[in-house]
Structure 1
Amino acid sequence: MADARFFHRAGPFLLSDIAALIGAEPLPPETEAIAFADIATLETAGPDDISVFSDARYMGALATTRAGAIIVSRKLAHHVPEGSRLVYVADPRRAYAQVGRLFYPAAVPTPGIHPSAHVHASACIGPGTQIDPGAVIGRDVDIGERCYIGPNVVIGDGVLIGNDCRIGANCTISHTLLGHRVEIETCVTIGSQGFGFVPGPAGLERMLQLGRVIIEEGVKIGANCAIDRGATDDTIIGAGSVLDNLVHIGHNVRLGRHCVICAQVGIAGSTTVGDGVMMGGQTGVADHLTIGSGAQIAAKSGVMRDVAAKTVVGGFPAMPIKDWHRQTIGIARLSKKVE
């Protein structure tokens, strides 16, 4: 059960309402009016909880669960003990995520500006927006409706923020246009200068960084990320993309729609990433490359050449995943022979 000090639960909800929300198959009529108070894992669920079975690896927990109802697919249903109350869906994990948001909806902003926040007179603040203590809102900033601006956030001059955005504590945002429904965790820096220097007789001279950052709608950015503004063109984060914690996006990078970028990934300047690309943790991508739509890159890979669309690569330097596995196996065999 979630700790009530940190998470506020809604409900209870009728099973019929839950089923309608997740697009489940029709329920037996006698179960529609049963109410459920919470979600829980198979191990911890009780009769008033709804749980999920989405992977055969959890058959041990399934065998002893006390859950009042279990979300499951037809494919996995034969593993469930007889007598369990089942809710059939095509994708149990996705359905469980939807049920989770039903029981634990996002907090609604409390409209108002804290007295300790500094908001420039020229800034435009939409109705329903909450601005927390210590925030600094610069000249000509435009913040949309129902936004949340956390403590000590600094929003530079001219920044545009769409409706229903959430910006966590201690973020700094400049030279940026944010679309609607963007979620940013704590300690994120967006719009800082990119890493561009030219050697000269007196040392390194910084290149001008005259672009912007454009973050399209529905993007989610984890804690401690850094997204540099463009040098001449813009840095773009496509709609629906998700950045894990500790991701660095260099200047002029164009990240497509619905990409998944895991923790500690670094993408160097002027690289173009297509739609639906997935990058495993600690991947490094060199500059001026093209990563095709639908490509998948294994964790800790070093991408030094273009990656074709819908291919899977891994290793350092990154190569087709089967070649990397063959190489790894070959090296292991050679090391055994040496021993």
Structure 2
Amino acid sequence: MVDTRFHRFVGPIALGALLAQVGRNDLVGSLSNPDHLITGVSELALAGPGDLALAAQPSYVEELRRTAAGAVLIAPALRDAAPAGTILVALDKPHNLFADILDTLYPSSTRAIIAAGRDDLGAPIFERDVTLGANVVVGPGVEIGRGTVIGANTVIGAGVTIGRNCIIAANCTIDCAHLGNDVVLHSGVRVGTEGFGWLDLGRSNRKIPQLGRVIIQDRVEIGANSTIDRGALGDTVIGDGTKVDNLVQIGHNCRIGRNCLIAAMSGLSGSTILGDGVLLGGGVGTSGHLTIGAGTVVHGRAAVTKDWPAGSKLAGAPAQDIRDFWRELATTRKLSKGEKQG
């Protein structure tokens, strides 16, 4: 669900009234219970009885079958997969209406890096031996643990929490995030930036509100000028002990396991999942919405476009088993030499 430390919620509101507010009175009459109270918005897997969730395409079916959401915006073809008793708002392109609802329930004015008017979060809290460099900006409700050092010109957004004995270098920005203990962010790191999510692609390019968080667990190190986008609704997670090199892009809703190593210039598209101990060489890219199993090694410049099981060794673009990669390369060289000799 959306963390209201970072995004103020203007509800609760009855589902029928919410639809009327976004200009969709035509859908109210089809509701089994228009008075159902919406107390938040969440992903299908995490939603509860007061939450509104989205099921827009077939990839949502398994989570839809198990959801506890009270109401779901749903593509008509998926209706039969919804649990009995769930209030369904069925329409074509439900993602567009979902974006309208998110903008209504969590106004964009609450999503600034230093949210205005968040006096409800209270003053920042610092444990002892916290060091702040010159020109550090700390938003309301921030909590910083003992022994942490914050470098010059760093900006920490409202509600952010930072654990103990962390080193946050100069010129970082941290928003919509919770950091564990012994975390190191090198200069210029951006944590909690908006994810790259759009509707009506190539035409209006409408932004999908990005209302999730970034969770950085203990002993994580992030290299200079790397960027970690917050989730769209859920979390982007960096697991214990993972080390990320300079100039790495981690997209929204990625989940990176424990003790992974990600070399410079790599880019992980949204909803990429890395198991524990995955090693990515320099310049690796992923196409998103895929899983790379624990202990996998991906060699530099590989382009991962599908799921791979634990222990894989990958190379090439598109990425393939490294033995197939070398075999194809050797065959190509032989053919090339044969043509020259002929």
Q: Which TM-score band (shorter chain)?
A: 0.5 to 0.7
Partner of 1:199: 200
Give the letter aligned to residue 303 of structure 1: V
Distance 2:227 2:212 in 1: 15
Partner of 1:47: none
Partner of 1:284: 285
Partner of 2:330: 329
**Greater length-normalized contact order (CA 8 Å, ≥ 6 residues apart):** 2
- Shift of the 227–202 alpha-carbon distance from structure 1 to 2, 3 Å rule, reads same
Provide TM-score, normalisation by structure 1.
0.63
Partner of 2:253: 252
Q: Show the 5 A alignment for 1:224-263.
A: 224-263=225-264
Partner of 2:134: 133
Give the letter aligned to residue 228 of structure 1: D
- Count of residues in correspondence between the two structures: 220
Give the letter aligned to residue 140 of structure 1: G
How much does 1:338 deviate? Answer: 2.5
Give the letter aligned to residue 187 of structure 1: G
Distance 1:297 1:193 in 2: 27
Distance 2:202 2:238 in 1: 37
- Shift of the 202–276 alpha-carbon distance from structure 1 to 2, 3 Å rule, reads closer
Distance 2:196 2:237 in 1: 16
Which SS does the other structure have where 1:337 is aligned? helix
1:300 and 2:304 aligned? no
Distance 1:130 1:243 in 2: 24
Distance 2:185 2:318 in 1: 32
Which SS does the other structure have where 1:186 is aligned? coil
Give the letter aligned to residue 157 of structure 2: G
Which SS does the other structure have where 2:237 is aligned? strand
Distance 1:327 1:168 in 2: 45
Q: Deviations over 1:238-277 (max 9, x none)?
A: 0000001011100000000000000011011011110000
Q: Deviations over 1:72-106 (max 9, x none)?
A: xxxxxxxxxxxxxxxxxxxxxxxxxxxxxxxxxxx
The answer for unaligned runs of 5 or more in structure 1 is 1-119
Distance 2:339 2:200 in 1: 47
How much does 1:314 deviate? Answer: 0.6
Distance 1:142 1:234 in 2: 19
Give the letter aligned to residue 325 of structure 2: W
1:174 and 2:175 aligned? yes
Which SS does the other structure have where 2:228 is aligned? strand
Distance 1:160 1:305 in 2: 35
How much does 1:121 deviate? Answer: 7.4
Distance 1:294 1:187 in 2: 29
Q: Show the 5 A alignment for 1:1-339.
A: 122-199=123-200, 203-339=204-340
Provide TM-score, normalisation by structure 2.
0.63
Distance 1:255 1:235 in 2: 8
Distance 2:130 2:186 in 1: 17
Q: Larger radius of gyration, structure 1 or 2?
A: 1
- Shift of the 201–302 alpha-carbon distance from structure 1 to 2, 3 Å rule, reads closer
Shifted more, 324-333 versus 192-201: the winner is 192-201
How much does 1:330 deviate? Answer: 1.3
Give the letter aligned to residue 278 of structure 1: L
Distance 1:202 1:309 in 2: 39
Which SS does the other structure have where 1:191 is aligned? strand
How much does 1:189 deviate? Answer: 0.4
- Shift of the 270–123 alpha-carbon distance from structure 1 to 2, 3 Å rule, reads same
Which SS does the other structure have where 1:187 is aligned? coil
- Shift of the 300–201 alpha-carbon distance from structure 1 to 2, 3 Å rule, reads closer
How much does 1:130 deviate? Answer: 0.6
- Shift of the 201–251 alpha-carbon distance from structure 1 to 2, 3 Å rule, reads closer
- Shift of the 228–200 alpha-carbon distance from structure 1 to 2, 3 Å rule, reads closer
Give the letter aligned to residue 336 of structure 1: K
